[in-house]
């Protein structure tokens, strides 16, 4: 019950209110009055531990100091091809798909990550729809964020640049023109399975395209499926990241990853 102070009651009576002061004054005497906020020690809500590790955030062109650099423009020592050394081209600090040489995958395996990569579709426009500047980055070799020239190239919305392929349409089309560098920043939480192989927690993904939020913590339906519906199947806790060879000479630079703790 809302209580009214004696002073308030008196003022209400003066104004002609019909409120019962007897009832309200008797209950107000039993009610605890909250202390004024000034009496609350602000240090009680200060949390000092753990102290976040200090890192150098770098700038837009370089990785933070606690990242694993997967490609800095020099070599492919962190990568392998499908059946041996990677066959893609590295020239002038840029990695480019050599069509039909197959997927590139990291030697390391990852689970939950923050991933940054920059990509560029060819200046010379060839093909249309899914055939124009198509590549993709697969988290855990299974969950694809589509790379495509979607600047002026209509295709199905859940297959355009920034889509989580055939699962989630990007909230906006933040594409730059072909030939310009673009970025993805991806926060990925791997799915969890119990010992029987049952799904305990699905994967989630957040994606920024050129700094714009396009996928906001979406819950994945399963691994990327080209045909049919996606369906989870138990897999390792850590798997390589892969880059897709979709037969278009898409380029990459500045690829780094930060492993995240659960």
Q: Which residues pair with 205 in a beta bridge?
A: 188, 218
Task: Look at residues 44, 65, 67 and name the one whose alpha carbon lies nearest to residue 56.
Answer: 65
- How crowded is residue 201: how many other Cβ atoms within 10 Å of its Cβ? 13
- Which is nearer to Mg ion, 63 or 161 (by Cβ)? 161
d(CA 252, CA 118): 6
- What residues contact residue 218 under an 8 Å CB cut-off, 6+ apart? 164, 167, 168, 204, 205, 206
Window 175 to 204, contacts with Mg ion (CB under 5 A): none
The answer to whether the CB of 132 falls within 8 A of the CB of 179 is no
Residue closer to Mg ion (CB basis): 63 or 104: 104
In the complex, which residue's CB is closest to Mg ion?
136
| Listed residue (246, 252, 242) closest to 79, CA to CA | 242
- Do β-strands 251-259 and 113-120 pair in parallel, antiparallel, or remain unpaired? antiparallel
In this complex, which beta carbon is closest to Mg ion, that of residue 86 or of residue 162?
162
**Per-residue x/- track, 232-261, Mg ion (CB under 5 A):** ------------x-----------------
Binding residues with Mg ion: total (CB under 5 A)? 4
Closer CB to Mg ion, 135 or 254, in the complex: 135
Subset of 117-176 contacting Mg ion (CB under 5 A): 134, 136, 146
- Radius of gyration over every alpha carbon of the chain, rounded to an integer in angstroms: 28
- For Mg ion, the closer CB: 167 or 244: 244
Kindly write out the interface string for residues 79-118 of this chain, putting x where it contacts Mg ion by CB under 5 A and - elsewhere.
----------------------------------------
- Smallest distance from the beta carbon of 91 to Mg ion, in angstroms? 23
Nearer to Mg ion, 166 or 253 (CB): 166
- Is-contact 1 27, C-beta < 8 A? yes
Least distance between Mg ion and beta carbon 55 (Å): 32
Q: How far is the CB of 163 from Mg ion (least distance, A)?
A: 9
What is the nearest approach in angstroms of Mg ion to the Cβ of residue 240? 17
User: What sign does the CA torsion over 32, 33, 39, 45 have?
Assistant: positive
Q: Write out the residues near Mg ion by the rule CB under 5 A.
A: 134, 136, 146, 244
């Amino acid at each position: 019950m809302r209580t009214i102070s004696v002073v308030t009651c008196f003022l209400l009576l003066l104004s002609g209110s019909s409120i019962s002061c007897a009832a309200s004054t008797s209950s107000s005497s039993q009610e605890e009055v909250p202390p004024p906020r000034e009496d609350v020690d602000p240090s009680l809500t200060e949390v000092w531990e753990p102290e976040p590790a200090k890192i150098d955030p770098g700038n837009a062109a370089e990785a933070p100091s606690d990242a694993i650099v997967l490609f800095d423009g020099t070599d492919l020592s962190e990568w392998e091809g499908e059946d041996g050394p990677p066959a893609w081209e590295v020239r002038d600090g840029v990695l480019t798909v050599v069509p039909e040489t197959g997927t590139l995958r990291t030697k390391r395996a990852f689970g939950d990550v923050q991933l940054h990569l920059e990509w560029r579709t060819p200046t010379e426009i060839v093909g249309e729809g899914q055939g124009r500047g198509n590549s993709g980055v697969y988290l855990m070799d299974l969950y694809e964020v589509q790379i495509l020239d979607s600047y002026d190239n209509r295709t199905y919305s859940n297959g355009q640049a920034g889509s989580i392929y055939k699962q989630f349409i990007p909230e906006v089309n933040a594409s730059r023109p072909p030939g310009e560098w673009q970025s993805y920043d991806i926060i990925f939480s791997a799915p969890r399975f119990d010992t029987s192989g049952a799904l305990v927690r699905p994967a989630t993904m957040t994606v920024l395209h050129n700094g714009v939020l396009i996928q906001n913590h979406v819950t994945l339906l399963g691994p990327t499926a080209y045909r049919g519906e996606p369906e989870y199947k138990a897999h390792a806790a850590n798997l390589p990241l892969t880059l897709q060879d979709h037969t278009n000479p898409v380029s990459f630079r500045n690829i780094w990853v930060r492993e995240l703790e659960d």
